[in-house]
Amino acid sequence: MVREDIPVALPSGIVCEDVYEVREEHVAKGVGTGVVEVLATPCMIMFMEVTAFKCIERFLPEGFTAVGTGVNVRHRNPAPQGTRVRVRAELLEQRGRVLIFRVVALLGDIVIGDGTHDKYIIEKNRFEEKALKILENVKSY
């Protein structure tokens, strides 16, 4: 059963920006998703998720957090190692515990990637208990 009740309504239109340096551990060659030294798609997505979380964490009641549940982004242009990518996350909508963000990564005025990212507000302890119960039911890895 999905619980939609949440003891907080987040302000609509929250916007956050962060800047990330594209380091060796963020390039496709470094993470093993390719052989080029440009920002890897999984790392771009990580930057977007981190920025979105920073937007909302201060509004969440004690004992609550948010986890990523969906990403729909396009990686449009390369960002070479050593560059600084600006990531912007804007909360578009809250539907109960579901949060929908517009995310964009920019190198100067060039769009590196953009799309949407969904998060779900959870009670941290309950979520961790659920994860442990799932682990108990796993027969092998």
Once rounded to an integer, what is the mean pLDDT over residues 104-126? 97
pLDDT of 141 > 60? The answer is no
| Catalytic residue ranges | 41, 49, 75
> What is the total count of domains within the chain?
1
Q: Which two tokens stand for residue 83?
A: 């560059």
> Tell me: the pLDDT tens digits for 17-51?
999 999 999 999 999 999 999 999 999 999 999 99
Q: Mean pLDDT across the stretch 60-70?
A: 95
pLDDT of 109 over the 70 cut: yes
Note whether residue 83 is domain-resident.
yes
The pLDDT value recorded for residue 2 is 46
Helix or strand (DSSP H, E) at 134: helix 124-137
Any domain includes 3:
no
Q: For position 116, which CATH number holds?
A: 3.10.129.10
* Average pLDDT, rounded, for the chain: 93
Domain extent at residue 131: 15-137
Q: pLDDT-derived band of residue 1, with 50, 70 and 90 as boundaries?
A: very low
Q: What is the mean pLDDT of residues 103-131?
A: 96
Average pLDDT over residues 91-100: 94
